[in-house]
Amino acid sequence: MKTVKETAKKSASYGGLTPEELIRFYRTMYTSRKVDDREILLKRQQKIFFQISCAGHEAILVAAGMAMKPGYDWFVPYYRDRAICLALGNTPEDQLLQAVGAATDPASGGRQMPSHWTSKELHIVSPSSSTATQCLHAIGCAEAGRYYKNHPDAAKKATGDYREFKDVVWHGDEVTYVSIGEGSTSQGEFWESLNTASNAKLPVVYVVEDNGYAISTPVEANTPGGNISKLIANFPNFHFAEVDGTDAIASYEAMVEAVAYARAGKGPALVHAHVIRPYSHSLSDDERNYRSAEELEADALRDPIAKMQVWLIREGILDADGVKALEHEVDVEVQDAADRALAAQPAQPESIFVHQYSEDLKPTDAIFATEPKFEGEDRTMADLINATLHDEMRRDERIVVFGEDVADATRDEPLRAGKLKGKGGVFKLTSGLQKEFGNDRCFNSPLAEANITGRAIGMAVRGLKPVVEIQFFDYIWPAVHQIRNELSVMRWRSNGTYSSPMVMRVPIGGYLTGGSIYHSQSGESIFTHIPGLRIAMPSNALDAAGLLRTAIRCDDPVLFLEHKRLYRETFGRAPYPGPEYAIPFGKAKIVKPGRDLTVITYGAVVPRALQAAQKLEREKGISVEVIDLRTLAPYDWEAIAESVKKTSKVLVAYEDMKSWGYGAEIAARIGDELFHDLDAPVRRVAGLDTFVAYQPILEDIILPQPERIYDAMAELAAF
């Protein structure tokens, strides 16, 4: 019989793992492989519809799961991470329910492909199929944990009974895990995340699972020098480790050290694990087309399952009969899980739209219809947006504001000493926020729009309320990947388990006299085409204040489009309506009643349409009704229909290019559903189908002007 001392010595040689833990380690690895194998069989039987495996990655992933704390730490995985999810507490049945697309699939309700893990209880954040986007979500998750440590009142509010995500927790020393394939380290979001993790010394543990291939592209064609560790070695504040990810003990030791470093607050860690891929990239791929038989045989000799089985027997932890009994037990468990999954009811049609938007605190709710309590003199749209941000940040400590140049001064000592006025955004709309609320509530981001958006998603998942700024709509495009594939779909793809209710403020539009191509863009129709995203575009100061407050307080992600030309216009000024004034989304405003013709518009075209309508009424006696939509998703179809039925003639006016623009859908729906109420064809006035030019003579022709709107109204009225 072994003494306690001998047992401790043996355990130390096993990386600190006891024999019982080593058996559990192997059991989890073997379970992961058997679930892969069962899915492959089911796919070949056409009982499931896609398969991508974790095979060859099991050792490093089980090591990561055993080195961390489920339901305490946070996990932002990717699609090869079956084994860590099992180690954290996922079951084979959980995973197979996703494979069959069952209604009871706990990860997505049959909405996501297999291998898209999600668990609120285990803190596994819903991933997408996109590569590297998850790295920025991990950054936001880690930032939220640090924020709650310093702002306990915000943590209490994030767990309040009015929030859908009711169990946000923080411990002060939690670590965020994020994994990525070596091929995906080519993506910009990976590097953007390293930048922020390093700068902020965040407790993030990266695992790079390097199986040598990005589908069919070998590592030497993907990564300069063929080794990602060499490229990232100079990032400060990082702990780096490179390990044989097929060796269970070495992997566990590396993960324990990395997690301890991050948990101690020293900074982020990255473990570069060399693993194998014994199966093809997915069942849609055949690696024999690009990998030699010799290479595949060499990988087989490093199979982590076989290696650990031999090691357990050699060390006397299990004998051959013990291994056989364990594997038989797992085989039966996986078979039974597959049988139950196959018998489960598939996801049903009535579930399609469930969780596309919040069922709690919708921006369309009547609770947001409040009366103004005016204070002081008329102020500009810019002034009222700034005042609203100040009031909302005073009300809710969960709100953080960040983006490019939004802070008053990152180096704030001279600011606090009164030596600097501060910047507060290129348009000054965030002026004073940092000075009043501090550097951790209003701060500058790197010049990287995906970084801003991805981090905000991670923060929002954990209950913060980010209000971020994209400096110009013209530069939003690097963030579109995060907006379309992550932000808008988080709630739907996780079947309501997670959501990302944040506000993205974006200055938009032209009429700037010299704004040119890269400071005059519209393009709202691209975003109104995205389910799950709410979009506001006010035309005046009062609406900007009311809609922004609704955007911040509601439980959906909101793209808040602020027309730059309107920021300081005389048109639409108003006194501040008070700290509770809000406007529901989807409620248009009739800015001028009329009986002969309806004009539907929004944004900077509103004052131009109003000017044209007033002139037409003065000169020709034609009464024009001008409708300001105010929000584009949702929009007020009832107000449109009521007006069109009254006037029987309609013009849709918008700033963006005419072809494929937002107004085209409005016009099409009117023609489709209100055809019998029309006395004339639906007309559109919009920008020309080209870019906005720098020379003001050209800009005036390209963008819709009051004269062009006037002419279209007159022609339509005479039809």
Contact (CB, 8 A) for 75 and 124: yes
**Backbone torsion region of residue 696, taken as left when φ is above 0, otherwise alpha when ψ lies between -120 and 50, otherwise beta:** alpha
CA dist 506 and 521 (Å) reads 11
Handedness of CA 328, 330, 335, 340 (dihedral sign): positive
Distances (CA, A) of 66 to 204, 407, 545, 685: 16, 41, 49, 62
Instruction: Count other Cβ atoms within 10 Å, centred on residue 436.
Output: 12
551 Cβ contact partners less than 8 Å away, ≥ 6 residues apart: 363, 503, 534, 536, 558, 560
What distance, in Å, lies between the first and last C-alpha atoms of the chain? 102
Residue 467 exposed, middle or buried by CB count within 10 Å (0-12, 13-18, 19+) = buried
The angle that helices 133-150 and 188-200 make with each other, rounded to 10 degrees, is 20
50 Cβ contact partners less than 8 Å away, ≥ 6 residues apart: 43, 113, 114, 282, 283, 284
Please list the residues that pair with 207 across neighbouring strands. Answer: 179, 271
CA dist 515 and 536 (Å) reads 23
Side chain identity at residue 29, one-letter code: M
CA dist 55 and 59 (Å) reads 10
Side chain identity at residue 429, one-letter code: L
| DSSP state for residue 486 in the 8-state scheme | I
Residue 20 exposed, middle or buried by CB count within 10 Å (0-12, 13-18, 19+) = exposed
| DSSP state for residue 119 in the 8-state scheme | B
Contact (CB, 8 A) for 207 and 178: yes
Task: Give the pairing of strands 213-214 and 217-218.
Answer: antiparallel
| DSSP state for residue 346 in the 8-state scheme | B
Contact (CB, 8 A) for 520 and 474: yes
CA dist 626 and 643 (Å) reads 9
- List strands edge to edge, sheet with 74-76: 74-76, 176-181, 204-210, 269-274, 239-244
Task: Give the pairing of strands 534-536 and 631-633.
Answer: antiparallel
Max Cα–Cα distance, the chain, nearest Å: 107
Asked if omega into 634 is within 30° of 0 (cis), the reply is yes
CB < 8 Å & 24+ apart, contacts of 307-316: 307/59, 307/246, 307/247, 307/248, 308/25, 308/26, 308/29, 308/59, 308/248, 309/26, 311/248, 312/22, 312/23, 312/26, 315/14
Q: Give catalytic residue positions.
A: 519
CA dist 392 and 551 (Å) reads 11
Alpha carbon of residue 306 to chain centroid: 39
Instruction: Count other Cβ atoms within 10 Å, centred on residue 112.
Output: 25
Residue with tokens 């709509």: 473
Alpha carbon of residue 35 to chain centroid: 29
